Amino acid sequence: MTATRTQTSTRPEPAAPAGTASTASGPEPTFGGRLRECRRAAGLSLRQLAAQVGYDHSYLSQVERGLRPGSAHLAALCDQRLGRRGELTAAYQQAHLTATASSPPDASRPSGAPPEPMPPSLEATRHGLAFSFAQVAGAQEWQAVAAAYGQDIFTTDPADLLTELTADLELLRQAVAADRGDPSEALTALADPATRLAVVMALTLAGLGRVREARRWWRTARATADHTGDPELRLLARGWEILSGWSERRPVAELLQLSEQALAATNGPATGSGAAVLLGNAQALAQLGREDEARAAMARLAEVPWTADERSLFGWPEYRWRHAESLVYTTLGDYAAAFAAQDQALALYPAELAGELAMVQLHRAACLVANGELIGLGYAMRVLVELPSHCHNERLYVVAGQVLAAVRPADLAKSVVRDYRELLVTRPLLGR
């Protein structure tokens, strides 16, 4: 397929006239309201400010309308861009203190008394009801929960996912503890969803930049998978650990060793569960310049059958295979093959998987830049600025950094390169 390099452009929103402010008689009491006043006074639209601070414009709109609280990081960036000298930081801190103070202490409890026990969560109640009436077997119930997380990880803010996932893992721990004295298949069956949930937890923590905690959860995922004796689960846990290793900045040699050990121990992947291992192996070989071996790994990966489980971490649909081709061929510098894979991936990706789709777009930007076409940097900036805030994670910014790394030495001093570098520094992930 012939690669297409379609350039798209956006028309910026018209800026508000300089000096425009709120019609209220005094400054609004919220951080969002004050941010809106300062932005308008600077003559900037939401999209213009979003581009300057590296946040999604829809997120800024929600902050201004009081639907989201914002963050100290956002306030500091806006202070800098709008020339407010700490005014917005002070407004955010005041709003935060006001929100905290608005929750009065429980006067019915004596001072110094231990807090009342937390009521059971809604999810805990649901699990208990399902098990009590035998609507589904325990292991089947947890399989359904794990399958849902396999989809949610691509569409949910990792900070929000972490809260829900932590609660569910605690419930699963309690279920395992309750079955500890049962030597039957019940306890072993829980190891399958436990492995999958541990993988999701490790990826969530890695996406938030909490690498040390992610490493611990990878050890748990491997150990739990090994307990099942299922070779596919063992490949699943190790494969996603290898792919996550790039965002965790692990040495390439270490990732190659992990992939080779996993392939040797399981006689290679027969299904999508092991596709991530082969992809990690091919990417490590490509990074090390071992082109023939990388292409051989990709040939093996091409033999893994696609699955119909299209929006899940645990499946291997065609668009993920095309994504894999784009990644490895971009690394190898085979731009014709990379562009062809990108065309197919971009056509196949479900729209709701915006974060994964953005990585393929960034691969394209890297190919353009490596070819000396700096329009690729503008393309990458647009991808990052317009991407919803919940899609910004460490994996994304590893790929975004590869776009910058593709810039030729002769182009490093150009203004578009400086702008792109600055955008990466002010990325919203740093505020989490």
Please count the CA atoms within 13 angstroms of the CA of 207 that sit on its side-chain side. Answer: 25
Please count the CA atoms within 13 angstroms of the CA of 209 that sit on its side-chain side. Answer: 11
Does residue 307 belong to any structural domain of this protein? yes
Q: For 328-342, what is the mean pLDDT?
A: 96
Winning range, highest mean pLDDT, from 134-148, 238-252, 254-268: 238-252
Place of tokens 């990826």: 203
Residue 90: which CATH number? 1.10.260.40
Kindly report the average pLDDT of the chain as a whole number.
Answer: 81
Domain termination residue (choose one: 197, 229, 261) = 229
Q: Please give the pLDDT value at position 386.
A: 86
pTM above 0.85, yes or no: no
Q: What is the pLDDT of residues 73-128, one digit of tens each?
A: 788 888 888 988 889 988 888 887 776 555 454 444 444 444 444 444 555 555 55
Q: For 368-391, what is the mean pLDDT?
A: 91
Same domain, 308 and 389: no
Place of tokens 């001093």: 413
Range of the domain at 160: 136-229
Does residue 260 belong to any structural domain of this protein? yes
| Nearest-angstrom CA–CA distance, 317 and 261 | 25
Which residues fall within 8 angstroms of residue 193, CB to CB, at 6 or more apart?
139, 142, 143, 145, 146, 172
Q: Please give the pLDDT value at position 25.
A: 41
Same domain, 93 and 148: no
Q: What is the pLDDT of residues 289-315, one digit of tens each?
A: 999 999 999 999 998 888 876 688 898
Q: Is the pLDDT of residue 272 over 80?
A: no
Q: Is the pLDDT of residue 325 over 80?
A: yes
Same domain, 249 and 205: no
- For residue 101, with 0-12 CB atoms within 10 Å meaning exposed, 13-18 middle and 19 or more buried, which class applies? exposed
Same domain, 224 and 243: no
Q: Please give the pLDDT value at position 367.
A: 96
Query: Residue 271 gets which letter from DSSP?
Result: S
Query: Residues, the chain, total?
Result: 432
Domain count, the chain: 4
Q: For 385-392, what is the mean pLDDT?
A: 85
In single-letter form, the type of residue at position 185 comes to E
Q: Please give the pLDDT value at position 125.
A: 57
Q: Is the pLDDT of residue 185 over 60?
A: no
